[in-house]
Amino acid sequence: MPHLRITFTPHPVATKTPEELRAYVEGNDPISGKPMMKEIVDDLTLPLTAEEMKTGMVHVNVGPERYGPDTPRNLQQFYADNGMTDFLPIFLPTDEMVDEMLAGTSHKPDEVVGKMAAGAYPPWEYTVKQVAINAVMAGCKPEYFPTILAIASSGTPSLMSSTNSFAYAAVINGPIRDKLNMNYGIGALGPFAQPNAAIGRAWTLLTKNLANGGVPGDTYMGSQGNNLNYNNLVIAENEAASPWVPFHVQKGFKAGENVVSLFRGLGIVPGQGARGTSTDTPKYEEQFSDLFSVFTGFFGGLVVADPLIAVSLYARGYDTKEKLIDWLYKNTTQTVKDYKSRDFAYGFDYPRALNGLEPYATWYKMPDDAVIPRWPHLNDINVVVVGGQTNAFFQGGCLSYGVSVSIDKWT
């Protein structure tokens, strides 16, 4: 729907008084300059034009297959000047390197992988070869390619047009972690392994180049941006050191399957003893809850725990992740008054309450001093084990689980 009729409001909308918001509505569209309410009425009532009545898919011209001949330095600058990079040097996608990347999958170069939109725009459709070009640019090896294709097939962008500065994460499970030499031990979340870094970077580049994302002021509106957007948060779970079942098994996959699971939210925060505890009986669940208490309830809570923490909790009776999650859900609470005072609750949850959707309908009927969970559902909390067991630290992510995708399908 390339000619969809759209009205824009001034920003920011959050934190504005009712009077200020009414002035927005009674004023002009900042893009078209037309009175906003008249524009809305016209958009809803005027007959469609011939162009607006056309059907079919939008086909995007992504540019020529190759650039040059030119010097490597000039080509690097060309890609950067045209917004096709993350403004760090790329690997130039020569025919030879793209062919090598394509050898990492049995799927045909012209096969459609999926489609993606980095906001409320018509999604762009892309092929295996187009994803391969971006994988080369990110510094990936051919053996990484099935994982990148799995991410691309999900339709999940790593950049979003929201005024929130979103962050994205990928949790990788299965034997492929060792096949690719992914880091899930010491420094697992740092810049110490090529597959962790390059897979995450490829996700950002394909979002920019194949999903119309990442143009500040146009398709990206995050007010401050997010440093994680460079190569996102790629987490290979330390399955061998964890006493619990791996994350992908929790989502219904077999232990021997290779799976990538995707999250989005606002980021991740180190938690290194948020609550003082005795060293012989550390209460990690309470520390998780303390850190969660400052998160917005609009996104879920993701715990990234060192194996030392997981083993300690297991020994204290949390022999499954589900038992730990149940405790966190019941003990990370808020008052109804605090809940209702949040912008996201009024904008997103209150309409659900009016439609009778639970638990929102019940929550909005409760007195202000009543205590309710921080999140609407148990599955809003997730736990992943990663780290090298040099210290019992954890990190908490204000991140919601989205989808899990088979990597094996793209080998």
Query: What average pLDDT does the segment 362-389 reach?
Result: 96
Lowest mean pLDDT among 29-33, 245-249, 254-258, 386-390: 29-33
Do 112 and 151 belong to one domain? yes
User: Is there a single domain that holds both residue 15 and residue 136?
Assistant: no
CA distances (Å), origin 50, targets 32, 45, 57, 280, 369: 21, 15, 16, 74, 57
Helix ranges (DSSP H) in 142-283: 145-153, 176-179, 194-210, 247-250
Q: What is the pLDDT of residue 407?
A: 98
What confidence score (pLDDT) does residue 276 get?
A: 45
**Nearby residues of 390 by Cβ (< 8 Å), 6 or more positions away:** 186
46 and 82 housed in the same domain = no
* Proportion of the chain above pLDDT 90, given as a percent: 81
| pLDDT value of position 61 | 63
Residue-number span of the structural domain to which 35 is assigned = 1-56
Whether 168 contacts 263, CB under 8 Å: yes
> For residue 400, is it within any domain?
yes
Do both 15 and 134 map to the same domain? no
Q: Model confidence at 4, in pLDDT bands (50, 70, 90)? A: confident
Calculate the average pLDDT of the chain: 92
Q: Give yes or no for residue 278 having a pLDDT over 70.
A: no
> What CA–CA distance (Å, rounded) separates 382 from 263?
10
Q: Does residue 217 surpass a pLDDT of 50?
A: yes
Highest mean pLDDT range out of 38-47, 121-130, 345-354? 38-47
Lowest-pLDDT choice from 14-18, 20-24, 75-79, 152-156: 14-18
Give residues with Cβ within 8 angstroms of 304, minimum separation 6. Answer: 189, 235, 268, 384, 386, 387, 394, 395, 396, 397
Do 1 and 113 fall within a single domain?
Answer: no
132 has pLDDT over 90 = yes
* Across 222-235, average pLDDT: 95
More confident residue, 217 or 366: 366
- Count CA atoms within 13 Å of residue 62 on its CB side: 21
Q: What is the DSSP pairing of strand 259-271 with strand 167-173?
A: antiparallel
Mean of pLDDT values over 100-104: 98
Last residue of a domain, one of 28, 56, 84: 56
Residue 281, pLDDT score: 73
Q: If 0-12 CB within 10 Å is exposed, 13-18 middle and 19+ buried, where does residue 379 land?
A: middle
Q: Which residues contact 312 (CB under 8 A, 6 or more apart)?
A: 282, 284, 392
pLDDT at residue 15 greater than cutoff 90: no
Strand, helix or coil for residue 305? strand
Does 67 map to a domain? no
Do 44 and 174 have their domain in common? no
252 and 138 assigned to the same domain: yes
Token pair listed for 288: 């998780």
Same domain, 19 and 80: no
pLDDT at 274: 45
| pLDDT bracket for residue 122 (50, 70, 90) | confident
Percentage of the chain exceeding pLDDT 70: 95
What does the pLDDT look like over 172-196, one tens digit per residue? 999 999 999 999 999 999 999 999 9
Q: Are residues 276 and 170 in the same domain?
A: yes
**Is the predicted pLDDT of residue 272 greater than 70, yes or no?**
no
- Predicted pLDDT of residue 16: 84
pLDDT band at 270 (very low <50, low <70, confident <90, very high): confident
pLDDT at 280: 67
SS (H, E, C) 129-153: HHHHHHHHHCCCCHHHHHHHHHHHH
Q: Are residues 319 and 216 in the same domain?
A: yes
Q: CB of 184 within 8 A of CB of 386?
A: yes
The answer on 282 and 205 residing in a single domain is yes
Q: What is the mean pLDDT of residues 337-346?
A: 90
Q: Quote the CA–CA distance of 92 and 89 in Å, as a whole number.
A: 9
